[in-house]
Structure 1
Amino acid sequence: MIIGNSRAELMQSGLNLIGQAISIFDSDLRLAVANSQFQTLLGLPDNLTRPGAYFEDIVRYLVVRGEYGPQDDPDEAVRVRVEQARTFQPHYMERQRSNGQWLAVEGAPLSQGGWVTVYTDISDMRRQEELLRVRSEVLSEQVLDHAERLAAANRKLAATISALQETKRVVTETQARTRQVTEMVAAHIAHMDPDFRYLFSNGQLPQIFPGRRSDIVGLTVEQVLGPANFAVLRRYLENALAGRSQVFEMSDAESGRRIRIALTPDRAGNGVYILSTDVTAEVEVREALTHASRRELAAKITSGLAHDFGNLLTVILGLQDRLSRANLPDDAKSDVQATLAATRRGVQLLDRIGQIAAPPGTTREPVQVGPLLQDLCNMARPSLGPDMLLELQCDLSDTPLMVDPGQLQDSILNLILNARDALDGQPGEIKVKARAAAPWLEIIVTDTGPGFTPEALTRATEPFFTTKQGQGSGLGLAMVFDQTKLAGGTLHLSNRGETPGARARLRLPYYPVRPQMILLVEDDDELREVLRTMLTGMGHSVVEAATLHEARQLADLPEISVILSDIQLGDGLGSELSTSSGPPTVLMTALPPGDPLRESVGGVVLTKPFDAGSLSETFNRVLND
């Protein structure tokens, strides 16, 4: 069944194949349907051949152009023809146009109202008739026969040309629509030949593989995506070239983004069609849901057993502590100490399970990450084996970054200790590398141990999963994963590849603290004091104003970099401080999103309460726009 636009397209294509001009007007004297010959034959502009065009406008255009010969009163000529149309009667007429062309015009009313008119170019026919009348006595029967055959061939050729023109129009429109659709799809669509060379691309490759070029037709997959990615893709591409469809996921070696790729063999044997989509967010949500379910399980375990377990541990600690002070043999004292150590470890484990079940919030503050990592490495070195080397390579400036120092230290320390356990007391090297990889603070911890097993790469961040044969809690990497996600970052585990060893890449949002002069506008004295302390703690200088009037007198100071103002001030709106020539303005409010006043001010709005990290991120965004 053909419905909607498909039926209209079908009808239009059919009408365009007819060699005569056709027009249909409705009862309101407006054009309902016309084929392409209607415009071509009468020489009408586009606006007069579209559905809805008025009959009066078309007639006026033809009268003014001289289509009906000289007119003493053009308006009267138009009026007469419109009135005739309103009382339309069936008719057939032949008339000669101003350019000498002869037209046969046949019209008939429609039962629904309106009428249909067919225009036929009979110029050749009239010339032939005239020629036959003038020279019929000298034309032989053979000449007439040739003339008839020629006329038939001409009519057939004209019909073929019309059909080809309509086919060309449909194909051109279809190609344009197809290209537009493929360019709008949030995926990379491509066609590759058997030599791994791109034959077609919708230009969306940089959206899926960041940093790549969009003009890739004629290049090979290896040239475009790099040797590392091609090494992963090759076996899938070869399977697809052999006729087997492939659907798989891979991580981009450069950006770390997770890509899902579908390969479909070309039925004509000319290569493979490729559909690539970025599923990084989907994978992160999937992992987050998995970890959320683990945390939910841990929460249930904790809520159901923590109270009783805690009481038991308290009793055990009390009894063992009493025994440790008693006069016991040395071997018994060592047993008591071992029991105490095991009990204290149980207390720590219970506390860590609670952290997994309900992770704390992130409190960012200005931190010089380089010295923090140096202190952490100095603290961690004594816990390593005598033949283990811990090296720090820090490629960061002295600019403070907004991070949670406690969480960052916990995460890196967990990764260092995990690397230490992987070395299992054997000589080896642990490296901590830190650098700015916009928009990330990237910290990579590598070791020279045996690396992750395939199972560990899949499950290492799951709570309670461990490969330490009962010696580990299985919560270290899970805590790193949770804390990193909570801070808006990512944790990626892999093996080094070129040499034995494991690699953990931790990425956190890169929020540098660049000291600015801030104009703080807040009419609540206590809140203004809190905000001033927050800003100065971030390293900024602060100029204060309690009213809109005071702020206007200070806003044009050349040292002011950003205006931080409440929306509702006692004597006006903070949004009135925003000007195209002045410093950028960040507005604050406790009004919820969607409130009419909040929506009316526009610009950047921070919802109260907010922390220093959110404020620093907002400053960076408005200053870099």
Structure 2
Amino acid sequence: MTLDDTQTKAMTSAGLNLIAQALSIYDRDLRLAVCNRPFQTMFNLPDWLTIPGAPFEDTIRYLATSGEYGPIDDIEAYVADKVDIARAFEPHYMERTRANGRTISVEGSPLPQGGWVTVYTDITQAKRSETLLRARSEELSEKLVSHSEELAAANRKLAASNAALEEAKRELTEMEARTRLVTEMMPAHIAHVNAEGRYTYSNRRLSAIMPGRPADVVGMTLSAAVGIENFELIRPHLHAAFQGESPVFEFTEPHDSRRLRAAFTPDGQGGAYILSMDVTAETQARAALQQGRRREIAAQMTSGMAHDFSNLLTIILGMQSRLARMDLGTEAADLIAATRTAARRGGRLLNRIADMTGQRPPRPQATDMHDFLADLKLLASPSLPQAVDLTVLDHCPDRPVMLDPGLLQDALLNLILNARDACGTSGQITITAHAVGDIWLELSVTDTGAGFSPDALDKALHPFFTTKGDAGSGLGLPMVYDMVKMAGGAMEIGNWSGGAEVRLRLPLRLAPAAPGGLALLVEDSADLRSNYRTMLMDLGYAVIEAAAADEAQALLGDVGEIALILSDIKLEGTATGLDLGWAAKSAGVPLILMTSLPLDDPLHRAALTSGPVLRKPFTIQTLAGLLGHEAAA
């Protein structure tokens, strides 16, 4: 049977109170964590200074005011000096004669998590004995004096050793502080849990990768720190680490669908070290790159066949035209008309395939989603039967977002027309749009039709699968899927209680704010820098410049708030404009890349997954449209 926390705390408190020495522990914020009863009685402290959370500053002020440290001219200056010394967390030992004539020793040691423990010992009697011994030393025999001298020499050697140990301890403390500072600056959560799953160390970055979770988690269980939903996803991997394995895995955080990667490493004592980070942007980029590669493969496979098929359709249509001019009778005329209709349908199908496998990349621009959705409703409503109602629930951010409005409009119109066909002559179509945390822009289209059949749920995203017979091409939903994946997003289809639902998730990238702030221009060509500087200034920005990514990162850290970064991809040195991405994201600064590299260049393709890319050369109107600003003609 194990003791609960209340029993353990009570037994610990009782044990500390039985110690003859006074003891206090203050945390990194200089607040009392624990003390024993001798600490209160030794310094005659009021109760409110002995409860957890009592400020160190208030305790020093009380002791100084009560005369503990003797006469003091400026008590507040004395208190401030003591607080500054305490914040340094230096190990120390000292002996002090109190105002009441008694002598105490004070020994303080820093703790690994910050803060320190101090032990106070009343050594008055020992000091009196030393004085008496010195007074009577003349009465001692020469041998005893010699022995005392030898003992004193040994004590001096011991003191020297202790000093060396204290110096080593100080250096170790400084090293621990530096290590703690480095880990707290890393964009990842680094921690350790013991065999019970309780945190013994954390770099206070859990809240950075899981917004809404606490930062100070030392002493908490992993399940309490990350929440039950997340812990259920983590539990099997944690148990594997406790068994000696080193699992590395990814999971989607349920709150706002962040993609997180975690690595557990066993510590050899039943616990585990934890390294976890937010890889949402990486996952979005990976999905977009994979879809781009699929498009390339599809284009390679279909381009030759499409060319030959197009030639065959041309021949068929030509022959049918010649047959139509012959007097072959009514029955033959019907067959000729049907053949020509089928050939034309094949031509339209070829165009759809070309759209899916073409090289047209997404062209993100600053888009006001409120205006976009209003225009979409206006555009789609005339194509719906009178008894089919279209409702738009707009909960989008008020600030413009970066996306390709043309591709998104085509995709949503496709879904609306599919929903219209499912509803028949009457029904309800609903478009819902909202942000999921600061990660995704989610748009869903629902209808009150019959919903997806099990077969359709399984095959709806397969090219050429259709439930509309000759009226459908089977490329509508695959084209929507292709658009979403090229943007680094995700698509889900399913049924709800009233019909079918298609949900699209696109990376939420807010457009740069209104002009008038400070822009960082990163370009290694002096002539081009001059041109782009003029464009930015005409749009209302003040401009600072850099020629290399390293120089730009230094400016990003040293200069005040920067509203926009406009950077070439290829720059001086080995770092590229892509390397600015993490620094810009960490600083919350929008980044727009520009390049003259061809579309098939790996750097260009990688840039397309992270945000807007301007093709050189470009005009001020193009730049203004991307930023959502009006440019002078």
Using the size of structure 2 for normalisation, the TM-score is 0.50
Q: Deviations over 1:447-491 (max 9, x none)?
A: 58888999999x998x959697999867545544554577xx542
Q: Kindly, what percent of the aligned residue pairs are identical?
A: 39
Moved more, 398-407 or 250-259: 398-407
Q: Deviations over 1:326-354 (max 9, x none)?
A: 77788766655554444333222322332
**Match for residue 491 of structure 2 among 475, 489, 493:** 493
**What is the match of residue 184 of structure 1?**
185
**What is the match of residue 279 of structure 1?**
279
Q: 1:447 to 1:263 in 2, by over 3 A?
A: farther
* Aligned residue runs from structure 1 range 252-271, under 5 A: 252-269=253-270, 271=271
Q: Deviations over 1:95-126 (max 9, x none)?
A: xxxxxxxxxxxxxxxxxxxxxxxxxxxxxxxx
Q: Aligned partners of 1:484 and 1:390: how far apart in 2?
A: 23
* Other structure's SS at 1:434 match: strand
Q: 1:162 to 1:482 in 2, by over 3 A?
A: same
Q: 1:329 to 1:266 in 2, by over 3 A?
A: farther
**Match for residue 369 of structure 1 among 372, 375, 384:** 372
Q: Aligned partners of 2:242 and 2:566: how far apart in 1?
A: 58
Q: Deviations over 1:399-435 (max 9, x none)?
A: 98886553222121334467789x799x997642124
Q: Report if aligned partners of 1:188, 1:277 keep a CA contact under 8 Å in 2.
A: yes
**What is the match of residue 562 of structure 1?**
540
**What is the match of residue 445 of structure 1?**
444
**What is the match of residue 432 of structure 1?**
431
Q: 1:258 to 1:227 in 2, by over 3 A?
A: same
* Other structure's SS at 1:562 match: coil
**What is the match of residue 318 of structure 1?**
318
Q: Aligned partners of 1:337 and 1:441: how far apart in 2?
A: 49
**What is the match of residue 358 of structure 2?**
358
Q: 1:218 to 1:399 in 2, by over 3 A?
A: closer
Q: 1:436 to 1:255 in 2, by over 3 A?
A: closer
**What is the match of residue 538 of structure 1?**
none
Shift of 1:202: 1.3
Q: Aligned partners of 1:496 and 1:298: how far apart in 2?
A: 27
Q: 1:290 to 1:151 in 2, by over 3 A?
A: same
Amino acid across the alignment from 2:173: T
Q: Report if aligned partners of 1:433, 1:444 keep a CA contact under 8 Å in 2.
A: yes
Amino acid across the alignment from 1:236: H
* Other structure's SS at 2:503 match: strand
Q: Aligned partners of 2:482 and 2:620: how far apart in 1?
A: 20
Q: Aligned partners of 1:460 and 1:611: how far apart in 2?
A: 43
Q: Report if aligned partners of 1:366, 1:400 keep a CA contact under 8 Å in 2.
A: yes
Q: Aligned partners of 2:160 and 2:453: how far apart in 1?
A: 73
Q: Aligned partners of 1:219 and 1:290: how far apart in 2?
A: 40
Amino acid across the alignment from 1:249: E
Q: Deviations over 1:51-81 (max 9, x none)?
A: xxxxxxxxxxxxxxxxxxxxxxxxxxxxxxx
Q: Report if aligned partners of 1:511, 1:616 keep a CA contact under 8 Å in 2.
A: no
Q: Aligned partners of 1:311 and 1:414: how far apart in 2?
A: 29
Moved more, 225-234 or 433-442: 433-442
Instruction: Give structure 1 stretches of 5+ with no counterpart.
Output: 1-134, 517-547, 549-554, 568-583, 595-602
**What is the match of residue 109 of structure 1?**
none
Q: 1:200 to 1:440 in 2, by over 3 A?
A: closer
**What is the match of residue 151 of structure 2?**
150
Shift of 1:312: 0.7
Amino acid across the alignment from 2:618: P
* Other structure's SS at 1:292 match: helix
Q: Report if aligned partners of 2:320, 2:336 keep a CA contact under 8 Å in 1.
A: yes
Q: Report if aligned partners of 2:256, 2:437 keep a CA contact under 8 Å in 1.
A: no
**Match for residue 139 of structure 1 among 122, 138, 141:** 141
**What is the match of residue 174 of structure 2?**
173
Q: Aligned partners of 2:565 and 2:149: how far apart in 1?
A: 85
Shift of 1:190: 2.0
Q: Report if aligned partners of 1:210, 1:255 keep a CA contact under 8 Å in 2.
A: no
Q: Aligned partners of 1:277 and 1:509: how far apart in 2?
A: 20
**What is the match of residue 288 of structure 2?**
288
Q: Aligned partners of 1:243 and 1:185: how far apart in 2?
A: 26
Shift of 1:310: 1.2
* Other structure's SS at 2:413 match: helix
* Other structure's SS at 1:245 match: coil
Q: Report if aligned partners of 1:198, 1:221 keep a CA contact under 8 Å in 2.
A: yes
**What is the match of residue 409 of structure 1?**
409
Q: Aligned partners of 1:264 and 1:455: how far apart in 2?
A: 44
* Other structure's SS at 1:203 match: coil
Instruction: Give structure 2 stretches of 5+ with no counterpart.
Output: 1-136, 517-533, 546-561, 573-590, 595-615
Q: Aligned partners of 1:456 and 1:176: how far apart in 2?
A: 56
* Aligned residue runs from structure 1 range 72-471, under 5 A: 139-141=141-143, 143-144=144-145, 146-147=147-148, 150-151=151-152, 153-155=154-156, 157-193=158-194, 197-210=198-211, 212-221=213-222, 224-269=225-270, 271-320=271-320, 336=336, 339-360=339-360, 362=363, 368-378=371-381, 381=384, 391-395=391-395, 405-416=405-416, 431-435=430-434, 442-447=441-446, 464=463
Amino acid across the alignment from 2:357: A
Q: Deviations over 1:557-614 (max 9, x none)?
A: xxx993799x9xxxxxxxxxxxxxxxx9999999x977xxxxxxxx999975147563
* Other structure's SS at 2:276 match: strand
Q: 1:407 to 1:268 in 2, by over 3 A?
A: same
2:623 equivalent to 1:614:
yes
**What is the match of residue 530 of structure 1?**
none
Q: Deviations over 1:519-551 (max 9, x none)?
A: xxxxxxxxxxxxxxxxxxxxxxxxxxxxx9xxx
Q: Aligned partners of 1:158 and 1:611: how far apart in 2?
A: 75
Q: Report if aligned partners of 1:364, 1:405 keep a CA contact under 8 Å in 2.
A: yes
Question: When the two structures are aligned, how many residues end up with a matched partner?
Answer: 416
Q: 1:614 to 1:198 in 2, by over 3 A?
A: farther
Q: Aligned partners of 1:165 and 1:375: how far apart in 2?
A: 78
Q: Deviations over 1:339-370 (max 9, x none)?
A: 44443332223223323333436385877213
Q: 1:511 to 1:208 in 2, by over 3 A?
A: same
**What is the match of residue 100 of structure 2?**
none
Q: 1:243 to 1:470 in 2, by over 3 A?
A: farther
**What is the match of residue 107 of structure 2?**
none
**What is the match of residue 15 of structure 1?**
none
* Other structure's SS at 1:504 match: strand
Q: Deviations over 1:38-59 (max 9, x none)?
A: xxxxxxxxxxxxxxxxxxxxxx
Shift of 1:168: 1.2
Q: Deviations over 1:151-204 (max 9, x none)?
A: 464145325413531441242133123213322333211223566554432123
Q: Report if aligned partners of 1:450, 1:502 keep a CA contact under 8 Å in 2.
A: no
Amino acid across the alignment from 2:286: R
* Other structure's SS at 2:489 match: strand
Structure index of larger Rg: 1
Q: Aligned partners of 2:225 and 2:630: how far apart in 1?
A: 32
Q: 1:297 to 1:430 in 2, by over 3 A?
A: same
Using the size of structure 1 for normalisation, the TM-score is 0.51
Q: Report if aligned partners of 1:363, 1:611 keep a CA contact under 8 Å in 2.
A: no
Q: Deviations over 1:234-279 (max 9, x none)?
A: 333344345443211122334433221112234222x432211233
Q: Which has the higher contact order (CA 8 A, sep 6+)?
A: 2
Q: Aligned partners of 1:179 and 1:617: how far apart in 2?
A: 42
Q: Aligned partners of 1:222 and 1:496: how far apart in 2?
A: 32
Q: Report if aligned partners of 1:452, 1:495 keep a CA contact under 8 Å in 2.
A: no
